[in-house]
Amino acid sequence: MKKLLLVAGIVSVFWQSATAQSTPTADQVIDKYVASIGGKDALMKVTDMTTNMSSEGQMGAIMITRKQKLPNKFSMVINANGMEVMKQTGDGSKVVMGGMQGSRTIDGPAAQQMTAMNTIFPELHYTENGVKTTLVGPEKIDGKDTYKLSHTTADGSAVWTDNFDAIMGLKVQSVMTAKSQQGEMTTTSIFSDYKEVNGIKFPMTILQQSPRGPMTMTIDNVKINKGLKDSDFTEK
């Protein structure tokens, strides 16, 4: 009996050790993701980026232009049938939301979350933006093994999650919940069809699922280091 207990104990210790070694830390998951899309050296050379996307919606053809500039500036303009229907502009401290019904300014924790998520390759800058990342654990996404990470802003007021392919390292899904005038709204983004642009891999197809309904966006082109100015992110 003592021998059986001893063997059981050894097996238990071995299993716990093997499990601990096979499950990566949050930092290791991010490091693998960064390596999978081009490597830290290549990503750190990107100081500004413009991404043009297109989709089809209830209002017809939709064109989305997203601009980003280090350290913390971003903008997104959505046009439907040639008419601007929504615009976001973040200058690092606040975010101005404009639309057909007027504009409003977002500051505080909500702006902090939007800024952290819209920084160029945000995973490289979470620490400086005060974002804490933890490993939730393994999770199946469409039958694939992934590792799920949870991100929390410095004041703990906002949380969002990312899933990374356990084998390839690529980001496959993001889930965020934002507060709006209609209440909280959760948006799930599914990333696929990664292709290289200037030696860096980007998902060329993004499927967004939200209470407004699903929308598939296609990335038409990505322009890197074209000299965007700070004034491009200032509401006039």
What confidence tens digit (pLDDT) does each residue in 90-119 have? Answer: 998 899 988 877 889 988 888 888 899 999
State both tokens at 75: 């903008």
Give the start-end residues of each E strand in the chain.
48-57, 60-69, 73-80, 83-90, 95-99, 102-106, 132-141, 144-152, 159-165, 171-180, 183-197, 200-209, 215-224
Distance CA 8, CA 137 (A): 26
**Which pLDDT does position 236 carry in this prediction?**
62
State both tokens at 154: 């410095």
Domain ranges of the chain: 23-233
Whether the pLDDT of residue 228 is over 70: the answer is yes
| Long-range contacts (CB closer than 8 Å, 24 or more residues apart) made by 224-228 | 224/46, 224/48, 224/49, 224/197, 224/198, 224/200, 225/45, 225/46, 225/47, 225/48, 225/49, 226/48, 226/50, 227/48, 228/48, 228/50, 228/67, 228/69
pLDDT grade for 59, boundaries at 50, 70 and 90? low
Tens digits of residue pLDDT in 190-208: 999 999 999 999 999 999 9
**Which pLDDT does position 109 carry in this prediction?**
82
121 in the Ramachandran plot: left (φ > 0), alpha (ψ -120 to 50) or beta?
Answer: left
CATH of 23-233, one of 2.50.20.10, 3.30.559.10, 1.10.3720.10, 3.40.50.980: 2.50.20.10
Higher pLDDT: 146 or 6? It is 146
State both tokens at 228: 């965007």
- Which of 2-16, 43-57, 156-170 shows the lowest per-residue confidence on average (mean pLDDT)? 2-16
Whether the pLDDT of residue 186 is over 70: the answer is yes
